[in-house]
Amino acid sequence: MDLFQPEPADLRSLREDAPVHRDERTGMWLVSRYDDVRAVLADPRRFHPDNALTAVVPIPRPVLRVLARAGFSLPPTLANNGTATHADLRRLVARFLTPARVAAVGPRIAELAAERLDRLSGRVDLHPALARDLPATVLLEVMGIRDVDVDALKAWSTASLELFWGDVTPERQHELARPAAAFHQWLTARIKAADPGGDDLFAALRAQDVPIRDAAGLCYFLLIAGQETTTQLLCAAFHAVLREDGLWSRLGEPGVAAGCVEEVLRRDPPVSTWRRVAAEPVTLSGVAVPAGAPLLLMLAGSGSDPAVFAEPERFCPARPHARRHLAFGFGRHFCLGAGLARLEAEVVLRETARRFPRLRLASADRPPMLGLLSFRAPVSVVVELGDQDDLAGGGAAFQQFVGAGGVGQR
């Protein structure tokens, strides 16, 4: 099994035949059954998050020097923090992602989608045309962060994901370290210059006297994961829905788009695996795991566990208890941006289907995939748009959305 390009059959085989299994190549213990994955995520005392952001391929000393010269560090802040500081940092970020604040951004998401859809015609790849930069724009606005080059942010982000989660050579690590270091330097400068009386995330970190090193480390991961995973979710959602007969035309029906998003998260989550460390000897599915063992939680495989999800291979937008999946984690480290990601995917799917009701995939072939240990999604969504709906047009679509009360009204 290739952990960087797993197949559904591989995940099923693991779940059935080796639910807790040590991978010889990486030394990680693969945990694939839903109940085991959930139990690990729910127990921060016995399973620590210390290795969550550790580079999958150890970074060699010359590359570490490149990062060190830029002051690069990822101290325990959110995803990799099992200490007492986690709760306060999480509360600080959560202020920007309250349910009310997220719901209020629905019309803006529709507006941004309409602007991009207005430019499209014929045959197009929805990844660069729609999914690539919209989540970054939304996240920056929600966090109050202004004057950001979104193209630069995306370049920094994709390089960082590959550096820390890719199966990369030392030469490639050296190439990737430069944009990763540049991003960290940019963040440090912006945080240092922030006015503690301001209204953005950088200002909030200064007002709370969070050390600059910790603030930069927090923002580094937050501003990558908070938008790259939503780009990945959108690409996966387009492919999943368009491969189901008749489903695209139903996205405007109440609850269908939201249900589709949950099924994508269950079956093909952008964050396909996550890591923990066993703090003491434990037993999972009858297998003894030693203290200090690195665990790889197979989030994608857990979502197709038939012990929890009936007919798990079937794509069912009306599935009961659809949110039982673990795509956003569980427990104290549950993803802070889950509500925003769900909203973005729901709105973008529905707006695109309303604008282009005859849209279809240009090919039935499987798309190329992002092959990182913990991040997996199609990297292209090439479609034929077909004729536009009679109601098409950015202003019309946006006004129809606003007039209907947007989303988040359920």
Residue 313 lies in a domain: yes
What are the tokens at 137? 């724009």
Q: Residue 243's closest CA among 341, 123, 359?
A: 359
Residue 103 lies in a domain: yes
360 forms beta bridges with 384
Concatenating the DSSP letter of every residue in 192-254 gives HH--TTSSSHHHHHHHTT--HHHHHHHHHHHHHHHHHHHHHHHHHHHHHHHTSTTTGGGTTST
Using CB atoms within 10 Å of the CB of residue 43, give its burial: 0 to 12 exposed, 13 to 18 middle, 19+ buried: middle
Residue 233 lies in a domain: yes
Under-70 pLDDT residues of the chain: 387-410
362-394 pLDDT per residue, tens:
999 999 999 999 999 999 999 999 966 544 444
**53 contacts 321 by C-beta, under 8 angstroms:** no
Concatenating the DSSP letter of every residue in 123-151 gives EEEHIIIIITTHHHHHHHHHTT--S--HH
The confidence score (pLDDT) of residue 388 equals 66
Amino acid of residue 287: V
Residue 321 lies in a domain: yes
Q: Residue 355's closest CA among 395, 309, 408, 299?
A: 395
Q: Which residues contact 215 (CB under 8 A, 6 or more apart)?
A: 191, 202, 205, 206
159-185 pLDDT per residue, tens:
999 999 999 999 999 999 999 999 999
Distance (Å, whole) CA 116 – CA 135: 12
Helix 338-355 crosses helix 256-267 at what angle (to 10 degrees)? 120
Range of the domain at 151: 8-403
The confidence score (pLDDT) of residue 394 equals 45
Residue 3 lies in a domain: no
Give the CATH number of the domain where residue 350 resides: 1.10.630.10
Distance (Å, whole) CA 36 – CA 53: 21
What are the tokens at 125? 């790849």
The confidence score (pLDDT) of residue 389 equals 56
Residue 410 lies in a domain: no
Residue 63 lies in a domain: yes
Rounded to the nearest angstrom, the gap between the alpha carbon of residue 307 and the centroid of all alpha carbons in its chain is: 25
The confidence score (pLDDT) of residue 253 equals 98
Q: What are the phi and psi torsion angles at 316 (to 5°)?
A: -130, 95
111-142 pLDDT per residue, tens:
999 999 999 999 999 999 999 999 999 999 99
Using CB atoms within 10 Å of the CB of residue 245, give its burial: 0 to 12 exposed, 13 to 18 middle, 19+ buried: exposed
Sheet containing strand 294-297, strands side by side: 20-22, 29-31, 294-297, 274-278, 47-48
Q: Which residues contact 11 (CB under 8 A, 6 or more apart)?
A: 32, 298, 300, 301, 304
Q: Provide the number of structural domains found in the chain.
A: 1
The confidence score (pLDDT) of residue 8 equals 86
Q: Extract long-range pairs of 207-210: CB within 8 Å, 24+ residues apart.
A: 208/88, 208/92, 210/89, 210/92
The confidence score (pLDDT) of residue 183 equals 99
Residue 20 lies in a domain: yes
What is the H or E stretch that residue 296 is in?
A: strand 294-297
CA–CA–CA angle 120, 229, 117 (5° rounding): 10
Q: Is 158 helix (H, G, I), strand (E, B) or coil?
A: helix
30 forms beta bridges with 21, 296
